[in-house]
Amino acid sequence: MTIWRRAALPALMLFAVLSISSTTACGSDDGGQSVVIGQVTDVVSSSVTALAELEVIDANGALWRFEAHGFVGMTPSHLEEHGVLGTDVRVEYFEEDGRLVISEITDG
- Domain ranges in the chain are 1-31, 33-107
Supply the pLDDT for residue 3: 54
- Cα angle 58, 55, 36 (rounded to 5 degrees) comes to 40
Q: Is 86 exposed, middle or buried (0-12, 13-18, 19+ CB in 10 A)?
A: exposed
CATH topology of domain 33-107: OB fold (Dihydrolipoamide Acetyltransferase, E2P) (2.40.50)
pLDDT (mean) for 55-73: 95
Query: Got the DSSP string for 22-83?
Result: HHHHHHS-GGG-EEEEEEEEEEEESSSS-EEEEEEEETTS-EEEEEEEE-SSS-HHHHHHHH
Supply the pLDDT for residue 14: 42
pLDDT (mean) for 63-87: 95
pLDDT (mean) for 61-72: 95
Supply the pLDDT for residue 25: 36
Residue 9 has pLDDT above 60, yes or no: no
Residue of 102 and 32 predicted with greater confidence: 102
Residue 17 has pLDDT above 70, yes or no: no
Supply the pLDDT for residue 6: 56
pLDDT (mean) for 52-78: 95
pLDDT grade, residue 13 (50/70/90)? Answer: very low
